Structure 1
Amino acid sequence: MKTLLIDPRVGGIAGDMLVAALVDLTGSTEPLFTLAGAIAALPGCSTFDVSVTETENGIRAKRLSIEIAEERSGSDGDLAAAMEEVIGAVGLSSRAAATARAVLTDLIEAEKRLHPAGFSRHTVASADTIFDILGPLLLMEEAGLLGCPVYATPPALGGGTVPTGRGEVGGPAPAALEICAMHRIPIAESALAMELTTPTGAALLANLAIVRDRFPAMVPTRIGYGAGTRENNGRPNLLRIVEGEVGDLVEERIVILETNLDDITGETVGYTFERLFAAGAVDVFVTPAIGKKQRPVQVLSVITDHARYPDLIRILMDETGTLGVRVREEPRLVADRSREAVEVAVAGQTFRVRVKTSCTGGRVVAVKPEYEDMKEIALTLGIPFRQVAGEVHRQIPAVRNE
C-alpha cells in the first residue's frame, strides 16, 4: 500500500514548504497554476502569481514564490466563502474539500482564541492562506496520495520572537502551538531562533497525518524536499517528505478513557453505557479488578476519537460520580473498511441493511451487517432476531457479487 511520510522534525512545516516538497516529489506544477488562476479571480485579489524555483544549499530543494496584490477580507466568514468559491473552481473532491474546511476551522479557532477582538488583522485573513491550504491537497489528490495512510514526525516549532498585532512574544508561534495543543500533537525540540512551523503548517499536519515519534516501517520509493523562505545563517529551513510502501493494514489514532468504579449499581453502569454509545463512543467495556484496600472495582473503559472524548469525559463524571478519568492516545492497526447499504428480503418484505466490509491484502476478511438494522427488522416483523440475522447473512454474499 502506498503511504506518505511528512518529516518536519528539524525544519518545521509551512503551507508553502509542503507545496514545494510535493512538487519536488511528484514533478507536477499544473494544479498550482490552476489554483492561482482561481484565486486571482476572487473579488479583491488583483494579482496572484506563483512560481517554483530550485535552490541548493547543502541539499537541492524546491522553493515556492508568490506574488500577491489584494484587499484584505473583513472576517473569517469572508475567507471561508472565498475558499468555497475556489474549491468549486478547481474541482476539488468532497474528501479533499472536507479536509480543507477542517484546516481553515482550526486556523480560525486558534486565532479567535488568541485574538478575541477579531482575527482579521492577522495574516490568516489572506488569499495566500487559501493557496497554502488547497495547494497540498490538489497535489496529493493528483498523485493518489490523499486516500493513503499519511504519517508525520513531531514538528519543530522554532524559537526566537514572533511578531503579533501588539508587539512580540517568544516563539514558537502562538497559533501553531495552540493547534498542536488542540490535537495533542507531540512537538520536537529546536534550538533555532526562528519560526519553523507556521499555524497553517500545524493545521495541515493535524488534519492530514498521524504524528508519531519515529518513521513507520516502510519501503521508501521517492523523496521530495521543500525549502522555506526564512533562512538561518544563510541556510533555508527544509521540509522532507517520503513516499513509500507499507503493509495494507491502516493505522489510525484512538483515545482510550478509563476510570475505576466502586460502590455503583449495575443499573447506573448500564445507563452510562447507553449514554456513551449515544454520544459516539466506538466501544465501552468493563473489566473487573481489585482496587485499594483489596476492594472489588470495575474499570470502565471507553474507546473514542479525539473530537468526542471531552464530551464523553463529562458523561462519565456526571453519570458515575468519578473524580478522575485517565486519557491516553494510542495508534491501532485496522483492516481497510468500507460501508454500504444493501437490500435484503426477509419474510417477503424488502429492507435496507448497512453492511461493513473489511479487507486486507486485497481480500475480504469480514462482512458484518449492522446490528441496529437487523434489530429493527425483527421488531417490525415480530420474528426472532436470529432468524433475521440468518437471512441477512445468507443474502449478503449474493448482493456483493452482483
Structure 2
Amino acid sequence: MKTAYIQATAGISGDMLLGCLLNVGLPIETLGKSLEKLHISGYRIEHIESSRGMIRGTQVIVHQEENTTHGYSIHDFTNLVQNSDLSEETKSKSISVLRKLEAAEILVHGEGHELHELGDLDTIIDIVGVIAGFESLNIDKIYCSPLPLGWGIINTRKGPLPIPAPATSHLINMSNARVVPPTKEYMEAGELVTPTGAAIITTLASFDPPSFSVNRIGYGVGSRDIPTLPNVISIWLGETEQSLEQNVVSTLETNIDDSTPELIGYVTEKLLASGALDVWITPIYMKKNRPGVTLSVLSTLEYQDKLLSLMLQETSTLGVRIINSNRYAADREIMTLNTSLGNVNIKVKKINDAITSISPEYEDCKNIALSQEVPLYEVFRIVELEARNILGII
C-alpha cells in the first residue's frame, strides 16, 4: 500500500502541501491538467525552489488577476467541483473538505456568514490541487504528525483573530486531530495552521503514527521567513506491508444496577460525543438476581483517560475495567457522491486496494427520505445502485 506521511513541523497550509507534492515528484504539468478540469481562469501558478534556514524545497504561489472574481462562497466552490471534469474520487474528497470548512465557519459565525478570506481562487486551487496530486501519485493512505497550534494574533479583513483562528480550532476539534501546544519556538511564529490546510489534512489524513518503508522525501516551503523555526513541512512517501491497519484500542467496561434507562442513554450519547469509537449496552443479572447492564466503551489510547473520567463522573459506578487489544481494521474512507437524489456520503471499505463493500450513510438517506417523501429502503436501494455504478463495483 502506497503511503504518505506529512511531517507538519511548521504547520499546514494548502500552498505548502502543494509544494511538498511538487518537490516529491508530482509534475507541474500534471497539476496544471488537473486544475484545468475546474474550467476556471484568471490565475497563474508559480513554483520556485526556495530555502528556509538550511532546508531547500518548493514554494508555490498562486497569482490571481486583478479583474478576477473575488469573494467566492462555499456554494460557488461546490458548484465548480460538481460541474468539473475531475475524477469522482477528487470531486468527493474536495466536496468533503468544503463541507468541513462550511461547518467550521457556521460554528464560528452562524448560518449565512460569508467565507471572507477563504473565498478567493487560491482556496479551491489548493484543495483540488492537493487532492488531485495525491491521486496522481497513487497514494492509498495518508498520515500526519501532530499539528502545532502556534500563538498570537492574526489581522484579517474583518479584524484581529487569535491563533489558531476559531475556524481552524473547530476543524481540529471536529476531527480529533493531535496537536502540539506552543513552545518557545512557536511563540513568535504566528499562524501555522490555516483553515484551508486544516480542512484538507483532517479530511485526508489519519493522525496515528505509521510504520512503513520510506523511498522518497519532499519539502514544501511557506511564504514567510520565521526567525525561530524553518517554515518548511515535509512529505515522506513509501510502502506499508500490511493491507490491514493495526492499532491498539481500549475497552472500558463497568456493571451498573442502580441507574435509569434515561441516564444510561444520556451517558451513551455523551461518551460518543467525547471521542468514543463505539458504545454498547449489554443486559446482565448481578448479585441477588438484580437486573443491570454492562456499559462498554471502545476507545483509542488517546481518549482513554478522558472517557474513563466521564464514566466515573456521570454514572454511579465505583470502578471501570480496562482491556487493551490489538485491532486490525480494513482501509475505509467516506466519499461524497452526487446521486440522482442528491449528495450522499458513502462509506467505502477496501482490502488490498480493492473496494469490497459500500454503505450509504444513514443520516443522509434519512434526510432525503423525509425531504423528498421517498421510502427509506428505496433511498438506500437507489443510492447504493448508483454508487456501485459510479465506483465501478459489480
Structure 1 gap segments, 5+ residues each? 274-280, 306-312, 339-355, 369-402
Q: Aligned partners of 1:331, 1:19: CA distance in 2, in Å?
A: 35
TM-score (norm 2): 0.65
Instruction: Name the structure 2 match of 1:22.
Output: 21
Instruction: Name the structure 2 match of 1:64.
Output: 60
RMSD over aligned Cα atoms: 4.5
Instruction: Name the structure 1 match of 2:232.
Output: 238
The offset of 1:332, in angstroms, is: 3.8
Instruction: Name the structure 2 match of 1:188.
Output: 180
Identity %: 29
Q: Aligned partners of 1:73, 1:19: CA distance in 2, in Å?
A: 22
The offset of 1:234, in angstroms, is: 9.2
User: Are 1:149 and 2:141 an aligned pair?
Assistant: yes
Larger Rg: 1
Paired residues of 1:283 and 1:304 also in contact (CA < 8 A): no
* Secondary structure of the structure 2 residue equivalent to 1:82: helix
* Secondary structure of the structure 2 residue equivalent to 1:128: helix
Paired residues of 2:22 and 2:28 also in contact (CA < 8 A): yes
TM-score (norm 1): 0.64
Paired residues of 1:283 and 1:302 also in contact (CA < 8 A): yes
User: Are 1:205 and 2:201 an aligned pair?
Assistant: yes
The offset of 1:82, in angstroms, is: 2.1
Paired residues of 1:227 and 1:237 also in contact (CA < 8 A): yes
Deviations 1:7-32 (A, max 9, x none): 11x20010111111011112422232
The letter of the residue matching 2:180 is A
Alignment of 1:30-45 (within 5 A): 30-39=29-38, 41-42=39-40
Instruction: Name the structure 1 match of 2:43.
Output: 48
Instruction: Name the structure 2 match of 1:108.
Output: 102
- With over 3 angstroms needed to count, the CA separation of the structure-2 counterparts of 1:171 and 1:246, relative to structure 1, is same
The letter of the residue matching 2:4 is L
Instruction: Name the structure 1 match of 2:364.
Output: none
- With over 3 angstroms needed to count, the CA separation of the structure-2 counterparts of 1:103 and 1:74, relative to structure 1, is closer
Instruction: Name the structure 2 match of 1:276.
Output: none
- Number of residue-to-residue matches in the alignment: 308
Structure 2 gap segments, 5+ residues each? 269-276, 301-306, 334-347, 358-394
Deviations 1:35-79 (A, max 9, x none): 44345x43xxx5111121111231110110111132224633222
The offset of 1:235, in angstroms, is: 6.8
Paired residues of 1:226 and 1:239 also in contact (CA < 8 A): yes
The offset of 1:297, in angstroms, is: 5.5
Deviations 1:350-395 (A, max 9, x none): xxxxxx99967x99xxx99xxxxxxxxxxxxxxxxxxxxxxxxxxx
Paired residues of 1:52 and 1:62 also in contact (CA < 8 A): yes
* Secondary structure of the structure 2 residue equivalent to 1:211: coil
- With over 3 angstroms needed to count, the CA separation of the structure-2 counterparts of 1:165 and 1:121, relative to structure 1, is farther
Q: Aligned partners of 1:290, 1:68: CA distance in 2, in Å?
A: 69
The offset of 1:323, in angstroms, is: 8.2
Q: Aligned partners of 1:197, 1:181: CA distance in 2, in Å?
A: 13
The offset of 1:322, in angstroms, is: 6.0
Instruction: Name the structure 1 match of 2:256.
Output: 261
114-123 vs 223-232, greater mean Cα deviation: 114-123
Paired residues of 2:256 and 2:316 also in contact (CA < 8 A): no
Alignment of 1:289-368 (within 5 A): 298-301=293-296, 332-335=327-330
Q: Aligned partners of 2:29, 2:162: CA distance in 1, in Å?
A: 39
The offset of 1:107, in angstroms, is: 0.7
* Secondary structure of the structure 2 residue equivalent to 1:107: helix
Instruction: Name the structure 2 match of 1:174.
Output: 166
